[in-house]
Amino acid sequence: TVAHEGILRRQSLRESAARTYARSLPIVPVRARGLTIEGADGRRYLDCLSGAGTLALGHNHPVVLEAIKKVIDSGAPLHVLDLATPVKDAFTTELFATLPPGLAADARVQFCGPAGTDAVEAALKLVRTATGRSGLLTFTGAYHGMTAGALDASGGAQDVRVTRLPYPYDYRCPFGTGGARGAALAARWTRSLLDDPKGGVPRPAGMILEPVQGEGGVIPAPDDWLRGMREITAARQIPLIADEVQTGVGRTGAFWAVEHSGIVPDVMVMSKAIGGSLPLAVIVYRAELDTWRPGAHAGTFRGNQLAMAAGAATLRYVRENGLAERAGTLGERMLARLRALAAEYPVIGDVRGRGLMIGVELVDPEGQSAAPAGADPATDPADGGAERDPAPAAPALAAAVQQECLRRGLIVEVGGRHSAVVRLLPPLTLTDEQAVAVLDRFADALAAAVA
């Protein structure tokens, strides 16, 4: 316990104030296995943050450890820039075996810097190079990373070349309708903006979207809307980039989340779970886009050998054990129980998700509507506008629920546009019993937070 407190104190003094997770989760993990993390003070936690969705197989899964040990024991080099190695060959083979059929036939892979944001940068650069155009279509509430280009592609985009479009957020629908109609209006907005000869945007280099917005508050895009975006971009020769950094590797109930809608993007951005706990990021794209000159995209750390070995083992395990399907069915059951909880608690404004990517949006049921009276959603759906549900978001309550969860040995994340969405991203190896334990603790925490 003394070590635990000393470490927390020293880190809070020495580390930048920009620390993120460490501020809301004052624990010092020293051991972990599967769903469980053990702190330096001996306390144990069920980890439903999973390294922000990285740990598809939970902590220290035996097949991942085995794969890492095998590389180390073999005497293989741990770093050889982007040279071809047996480890890389095995990873690429495994990755290509997971691709949606429409892409697998004619795909190229580019290994990027170690993080998701590096792969996003590469994707943006690729489509700009291939099309010779510079504009970019992105969506309200999007999150693509923290480096300059990825940041511009995210919800609060500033770059003048970036055009933000409405994402179909059923609960806080920018058109005030929600449902299929809200999604259809969002698609229509996009179509008319591109085709407007006067006020519209010039043909952009690409469109980037998350099939389920993660950091934006776990907002699954309807399949019809995704098909609409595919149709709109294909008709205008605009490459479509699917950011599957968080949704990939089985999390949403399909190996890649785009498979639910059947769309085939031109570029897929992958990171987090593909490295089996270690940093790894790639883009996979139609060979036709591979127009950049040799050396046009470089970097020292691309495709770490240990990460590729851990990643290949993870991809194989998820595929061979049907963990995507498992995430889909278990996720549905967890959502059903959370919806039952919502019926009891008016502070739960919305329960949503896909597979084991789950969000519970907390609201102030008595608060005044955040929607400006008389707002015309048609004039600017991306910036506020009328919201279908008038209950304002409750970020303080979400923070309190997170703390009550922690007190009960459960780690959850809080995110969303108003920081009021409690997020669950458990490993895909979650057992039925563990799922019940997680939801029991969550229900207790919620009861304590509203008491």
271 binds ligand PMP (CB under 6 A): yes
Yes or no: say if 358 and 334 are a contact pair by the CB < 8 Å rule: yes
Q: Using CB under 6 A, which of 210, 259, 387, 413 touches ligand PMP?
A: 210
Q: In what order do the strands lie in the sheet with 267-270?
A: 107-111, 282-286, 267-270, 240-243, 206-209, 136-139, 162-165
> What is the closest distance, in whole angstroms, from the C-beta atom of residue 226 to ligand PMP in the complex?
15
Minimum CB distance to ligand PMP, residue 115 (Å): 4
299 conformational bin, left if phi > 0, alpha if psi -120 to 50, beta if neither: left
Number of H-type helices and E-type strands within the chain: 14, 17
Judged by CB under 6 A, does residue 123 bind ligand PMP? Answer: no
- The site string for ligand PMP over 67-106 (x = CB under 6 A, - otherwise) reads ----------------------------------------
Residue of 116, 135, 253, 427 that binds ligand PMP (CB under 6 A): 116
Q: Which amino acid is at 112?
A: C
What CA–CA distance (Å, rounded) separates 133 from 147?
Answer: 21
User: Both tokens of residue 272?
Assistant: 């987090």
State which of residues 91, 111, 139, 143 lies at the interface with ligand PMP (CB under 6 A): 143
CA 128 to chain CA mean position, Å: 23
Cα dihedral 439/444/448/450 (nearest 10): 50
Task: List the structure tokens of 205.
Answer: 């280099």
Nearer to ligand PMP, 145 or 427 (CB): 145
* Among residues 61, 128, 133, 144, the one that binds ligand PMP under rule CB under 6 A: 144
Binding range to ligand PMP, per CB under 6 A, among 29-37, 70-78, 98-106, 113-121:
113-121
Identify which of residues 204 and 275 has a Cβ nearer to ligand PMP in the complex: 275
Residue type at 237 in one-letter notation: Q
Nearer to ligand PMP, 116 or 141 (CB): 116
- Taking the complex as a whole, the smallest distance from the CB of residue 65 to ligand PMP amounts, in Å, to 22
Question: Measured from the CB atom, is 124 or 347 closer to ligand PMP?
Answer: 124
**Would you count residue 245 as binding ligand PMP (CB under 6 A)?**
yes
Contacting ligand PMP (CB under 6 A), which of 50, 110, 117, 429? 117
Q: Does 228 bind ligand PMP (CB under 6 A)?
A: no
Closest CA to 352 of 211, 155, 171: 171
Looking at the Cβ atoms of 88 and 272, the one nearer to ligand PMP is 272
* CB nearer ligand PMP, residue 245 or residue 363: 245
Residue 304 binds to ligand PMP (criterion: CB under 6 A): no
Q: How far apart are CA 217 and CA 229, in angstroms?
A: 21
Radius of gyration of the chain (CA): 22
- Shortest Cβ distance from residue 349 to ligand PMP (Å)? 22
Q: Is 168 in the site for ligand PMP (CB under 6 A)?
A: no
Count the neighbouring beta carbons within 10 Å of the beta carbon of residue 86. 12
DSSP 138: E
Taking alpha carbons only, the member of 203, 260, 182, 315 closest to residue 242 is 260
Neighbouring CB atoms inside 10 A of 2's CB total 8
> Contact between 115 and ligand PMP (CB under 6 A)?
yes
For residues 172 and 423, which CB has a smaller minimum distance to ligand PMP in the complex?
423
**Residue numbers at the binding site for ligand PMP (CB under 6 A):** 52, 115-117, 120, 143-145, 210, 214-215, 243, 245-246, 271
